Structure formats: C-alpha cells, structure tokens
Amino acid sequence: MKKTLLIISIISVGLSACRKENTFEGPSINEINSKFTILEPFKANKNSADFETSNAIFTARFNKIVSWKITIKGSISKATKIITGESKVIDASNATWNGSTTQFPLFKAENCTATLLIASENDSTSTTLAISKTKPLPTGARMIANFENGLDPNWTKFFQSGASMECIVKSDNFAPEGNKYLNMGGTVNWDWLIGLVDFNARAYQNNVTFPFSTNPENEYFNVLIYGDPSTNLTKALFQFKEDENGDGVFDATKEDEYDYSIDVTWSGWRLVSVKYADIVTLVNGNPASPNGNKQHNPDKISKISFLQLADPNLGFARCKIDLITFTQNKAIDL
C-alpha cells in the first residue's frame, strides 16, 4: 500500500512538473487598461485604387485592443462603406476594401475620405483615397439591365396613362450605379398595374433563352430597388418565364412561370437578392403549382418581366430600379 501511494504521488507530481506555463491566454489585461495610444498612424496602402485589379488595405496599430470603425465616404456619390473590428492591429486581415458599398449608391471614380473612429477613446483620424476604377461586377455575373443606354427597343414596355405618370430612365443624383436608373411612378386609380417592362432574351444577342446555367441552386437574381415610403406601398413583381420546349414562345398554360414579389417597404436603395431555386409560382399573390414541368430551369428562361403594382385606391406610388443581374453561386456583392 505504501508503495502504491508513493507511485501515485510520484506520477502526479511528475505530470504536474511537465507543465511549464510562462505565457497567458487572451490579451494582456494590463494592456487593455492602459492609456490608449496610436503606435502606427491610420493610412491606406495606396493613394489611388483600381478595384478592377486590386483591393485597398487600411493599416494602423494601437497599444491595446479597441473597437474601431472605418467609414469611407465618396466625395461625389456620397456612397458609404463601413468596416468595423475589434483588435490592436488594423491590416489586410480585417480592413481590406474591395470597392464595395455598405450604404448605396455605389462608389464612382472619385476621391474618398476614410475616417477611423475609436469610440471608446473618443478619438478619430482620417486619410484620403482616390478611386481610379470602380469595383467590377463579379466574374460570371450576367447583366440584364442597368439602364445606362436607356430602354432597349427590344424590351417590351407598357406604362399606364394615369395621373402624374413618370416611367422613364432618369439620370440624376439618385443613380445608385452608373448614371442612370429606371424610375416608375404615377397614380392609376383603376388598376394595380402601373407599368411593366419585359426583358426578352431575344434582346440579348438574339438568344431564345438567357445564357444561365441549368442548376437553379447556383443562380442568384439581384436587383437594386429604391423605396419611397412617402408614397403608396409599391409591389415590385418579377416574373421568370421558362420556354421549356424551346419553341421561342412562352405558353403560360403549359410552361413554368416563377414569380418574385417584393413589398418595397423601405426608404432609399436596397439590394434584393434571391436564389432562383427559392422563387415560387404565385397566382394572385399566393403560392401555386407551376403549369409546366414544375422544375426550375434557369437555362430556359426566355423572358424576365418587371411589373410595378400598387393598390389603385391609395393614390400615387413610385419606385426606382437599377442593376438587374444574375450571378452564380452567391448573391452579388456590391
């Protein structure tokens, strides 16, 4: 028994002795509670950013971990990008900017001011950065409409003849991308429909269908929509019509149509993205069974329609749309 006790004691002490900890976990508490100082000033890694070829990186170094926020503001577009973090070092791992936007519009080729704010220390510092080339659309993105060339004559258009109708491509400070967008608004007191635009596949290099992949799980529909809460609630309805037999004609009684209805309840521009496989068929706003092969076939979409709808009893309604795209594998990153 004495031997056993001795063996166990030796093993225990031996194992304890194996531990040699002369370090500690986490950030230093002494450091966290020390007076804040900036060890390396806040700066960008370049004066001029070409987002077609590379990203911009912001750097700074502090004596302790702090919560920080970088706000980048475009001098012309007034676009805003916000990057936040909690660290003692700002570098490529946490402050890389690919030219994307947090608050629309998108950035233009313009001068920007980046401001670093350390809220807990009531401290801020700024640097400047010019954009020489803006962020391109992601690889594999298919543009349906950005309205930079107005309304394509090969698109089918119908606008009601109500009061105060303004269904035109406009070029003003509201443009979230490029210089132009589609504005659609007016008072139509006899019908829900205010106007519609059919984006026919034939308008694009005379294709019967859009050149999308066969997998609906990989295809994402994206659109920028501007909401104006001071007007009647707008519904933006997008219809995706599949020409399943490839005869160049969409037959609503025998082929699938999928519908994505958006209640534009917000103020300002917002990016709306949805996976094509998640879009359902709607009849009078309610989910229904499609009339064709009942399978999502993005490669068979022959027509994408945008309809602006509003309750005829509630007066003037308006929304703006821009940058209608399809992207692969994920929603568009703007």
Binding residues for another protein (CB under 8 A): 1, 4-5, 8, 11-12, 15-16, 19, 21-30, 32-33, 65, 86
- CA 146, 152, 154, 155 dihedral sign is positive
Closest approach of another protein to the CB of residue 309, in Å: 33
Extended beta strands in 147-279, E state = 156-159, 168-171, 180-186, 193-200, 219-227, 234-242, 257-264, 268-275
Distance from C-alpha of 105 to C-alpha of 98, rounded to nearest angstrom: 15
State in angstroms the smallest separation of the CB of 63 from another protein. Answer: 14
Least distance in Å: CB of 68 to another protein? 14
Pick from 307, 301, 257: which is nearest to 282 by CA? Answer: 257
Q: Half-sphere exposure of 84 toward its Cβ, with a 13 Å CA cutoff?
A: 3
Minimum gap (Å) between residue 213 Cβ and another protein: 17
Q: Which of residues 22 and 253 has its CB atom nearest to another protein in the complex?
A: 22
Beta bridge mates, 43: 59
Would residue 174 be called left, alpha or beta, if left means φ above 0 and alpha means ψ between -120 and 50 degrees? Answer: alpha
- Residue 47 or residue 93: which is nearer to another protein going by CB? 93
Q: What is the smallest separation between the CB atom of 34 and another protein, expressed in angstroms?
A: 8
Shortest Cβ 326–another protein spacing (Å): 22
CB of 4 to another protein, least distance (A): 6
Query: Which candidate, 50, 49, 67, 197, places its Cα nearest to that of 58?
Result: 49
Report residue 299: phi and psi, to 5°: -70, -10
Nearer to another protein, 78 or 275 (CB): 275
Nearest to another protein of 26, 287 (CB atom) = 26
Nearest approach, Cβ of 37 to another protein (angstroms)? 16
Q: How far is the CB of 21 from another protein (least distance, A)?
A: 4
What order of strands is seen across the sheet that includes strand 257-264? Answer: 156-159, 193-200, 301-310, 234-242, 257-264
| Beta carbon nearer to another protein, 22 or 53 | 22
Burial of 244 (0-12, 13-18, 19+ CB in 10 A): buried
Torsion of CA 79, 85, 90, 96, to 10 degrees: -40
Q: Are 235 and 264 in contact (CB under 8 A)?
A: yes
Closest CB to another protein among 89 and 168? 89
Q: Which is nearer to another protein, 19 or 294 (CB)?
A: 19
Our CB check for another protein shows the closer of 2 and 294 to be 2
Residue type present at position 217: E
The radius of gyration of the chain from alpha carbons, rounded to an integer in Å, stands at 28
Residue closer to another protein, measured from CB, 3 or 294 = 3
